[in-house]
């Protein structure tokens, strides 16, 4: 079997016992790397300040080489905080109003991709299979091809791909599209994302389907498909079943005094629809005054990208919404919304998911949303909660037992909360069982195997690794 080389913006390093950090992607990719050995390359998380980054740091463990590169402060400002998170992220999440383009930041984005390519090429072997992850590194395959790399290279986009009318606003639109065409396989979260991508090619006359699963794009054959990412379904279910004795979960249950718990867990990001969710919960309380003291919303939203101004502004907005609702509807005995602005451990999260009668997952746009899947996997099979899910989350293409809502419609979401809280047990079980069966057969290991199998079926570009002549 070929050696696997994984490239991502960040590298989730194992702990001192060799265990990968929690999270489906890290676990699945570690399993694949350990099987045949390989490399995981990415940013170290460190900045060299004004100095140019020099050399690589390598950690060897369990047949895996973790290869890390530092970045300069200019790299972070332009590549990461700049073009990746202030241009690509908002546009791919259909927020043109938040995209701020600067030519210098665009140049930094491509410069860091060239840096990654320069540092990766000397480590490659002719039979290596290369798997590149996410929007930070879209140009990487093209840079590798320029350096003579002919290995199979696959790319997986973890965030949504927007419709053509949106993505054409990208200042370097054609360059990004050509960058994706340099891969042998391009993977998306859902069939909707795939259709949007093909629509972009078709509209500009750059390409179209040639045969099922294969695109002819920019005079090159490219495989493309949807590969919805999963979670560690079995592990998460077993973890949730063992959380009854956790102090934080027990304290939470006791503090509710019998009221029903609704839970929302999100990274603090404008794509997650947190403010609209709070408005919908308030609307539910206003429509159902008899529920005062009988239901509580727990919103967990750890800080995210605090160096980007839009995120700081959103943090203040969410805090203001929570304060307004609690001030208007709370009593001495009852606080309607409990807002936690910090990360919780996986066992605690699993226990809180299991405790919650409703999982409220209402992003305005999301590539997949693994919280929805974790909530389902954590439920008690004999008494499961109900998932309320935005139709704009990728998970809505799989979790057909959820109550689907339009997150922009606060009235509809408020009605869904009432419906979820009053849903009969037999309906809750039937809906949960349908979703759980799917998650068990389509877990994160299935996702990893399926993508790599498709990549291994792609023909190698000239069948060998060569390098540019000096």
Residues serving a catalytic function are 158, 366
Nearest residue to 293 via CA among 339, 254, 340, 260: 260
Evaluate whether 266 touches 297 at the Cβ level (below 8 Å).
Answer: no
Q: Which residues, 6+ apart, have CB-to-CB distance to 191 below 8 Å? A: 226, 397
Say if residues 26 and 14 touch (Cβ distance below 8 Å): no
Q: Which residues contact 316 (CB under 8 A, 6 or more apart)?
A: none
Place of tokens 């480590």: 123
SS3 per residue for 251-299:
HHHHHHCCCEEEEEECCCCHHHCHHHHHHHHHHHHHHCHHHCCCEEEEE
Q: Are strands 129-133 and 4-10 parallel, antiparallel or unpaired?
A: parallel
Residue with tokens 């919780």: 344
CB 79 within 8 A of CB 106: no
d(CA 110, CA 73): 15
Burial of 253 (0-12, 13-18, 19+ CB in 10 A): middle
Residue linked to tokens 């099987």: 35
User: What is the four-CA torsion angle of 238, 241, 242, 244, rounded to 10 degrees?
Assistant: 160
Q: What is the dihedral of CA 137, 141, 146, 151, to 10 degrees?
A: 140
CA distance 414 to 396: 19
Angle, in degrees to the nearest 10, between helices 309-329 and 274-287? 10
- φ, ψ of residue 340 to 5 degrees: the values are -115, 115
Q: Round the CA-based radius of gyration of the chain to a whole number and report it.
A: 23
Residue 144: φ, ψ to 5°? -65, -40
Name the residue among 13, 35, 9 with its Cα closest to residue 23.
13
Residue pair 412/383 in contact by the 8 Å Cβ criterion: no
């Amino acid at each position: 079997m070929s050696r696997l080389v994984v490239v991502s913006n960040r590298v989730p390093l194992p702990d001192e016992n060799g265990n990968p950090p929690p999270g489906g992607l890290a676990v699945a990719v570690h399993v694949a790397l350990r099987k045949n050995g390989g490399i995981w390359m990415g940013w170290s998380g460190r900045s060299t300040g004004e100095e140019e980054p020099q050399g690589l740091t390598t950690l060897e463990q369990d047949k895996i080489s973790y290869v890390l590169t530092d970045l300069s402060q200019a790299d972070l400002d332009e590549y990461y905080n700049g073009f990746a998170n202030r241009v690509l992220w908002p546009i791919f999440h259909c927020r043109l109003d938040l995209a701020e383009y600067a030519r210098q930041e665009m140049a930094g984005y491509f410069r860091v991709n060239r840096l990654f390519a320069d540092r990766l090429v000397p480590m490659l072997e002719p039979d290596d299979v290369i798997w590149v992850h996410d929007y930070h590194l879209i140009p990487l395959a093209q840079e590798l091809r320029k350096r003579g790399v002919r290995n199979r290279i696959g790319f997986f986009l973890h965030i949504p791909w927007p419709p053509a009318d949106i993505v054409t606003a990208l200042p370097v639109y054609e360059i990004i599209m050509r960058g994706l065409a340099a891969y042998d396989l391009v993977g998306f979260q859902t069939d909707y994302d795939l259709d949007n991508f093909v629509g972009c090619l078709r509209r500009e006359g750059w390409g179209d389907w040639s045969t099922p699963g294969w695109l002819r794009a920019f005079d090159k054959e490219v495989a493309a498909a949807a590969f919805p990412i999963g979670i560690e379904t079995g592990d998460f279910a077993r973890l949730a079943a063992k959380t009854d004795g956790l102090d934080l979960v027990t304290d939470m249950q006791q503090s509710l005094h019998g009221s029903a718990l609704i839970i929302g867990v999100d990274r603090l990001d404008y794509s997650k629809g947190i403010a609209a969710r709070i408005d919908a919960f308030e609307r539910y309380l206003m429509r159902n005054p008899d529920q005062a003291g009988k239901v509580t919303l727990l919103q967990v939203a750890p800080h995210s990208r605090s160096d980007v101004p839009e995120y700081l502004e959103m943090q203040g907005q969410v805090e203001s919404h929570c304060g307004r609702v609690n001030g208007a509807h709370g009593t001495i005995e009852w606080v309607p919304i409990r807002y936690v602005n910090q990360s919780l451990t996986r066992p605690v999260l699993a226990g809180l998911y299991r405790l919650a009668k409703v999982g409220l997952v209402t992003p305005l746009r999301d590539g997949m949303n693994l919280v929805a899947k974790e909530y389902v996997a954590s439920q008690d099979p004999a008494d499961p909660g109900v998932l309320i899910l935005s139709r704009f989350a990728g998970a809505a293409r799989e979790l057909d037992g959820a109550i689907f809502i339009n997150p922009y419609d606060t009235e509809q979401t408020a009605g869904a909360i009432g419906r979820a809280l009053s849903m009969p047990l037999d309906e809750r079980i039937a809906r949960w069982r349908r979703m759980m069966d799917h998650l068990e057969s389509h877990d994160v290991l299935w996702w990893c195997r399926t993508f790599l199998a498709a990549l291994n079926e792609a023909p190698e570009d000239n069948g060998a690794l060569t390098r540019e002549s000096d």
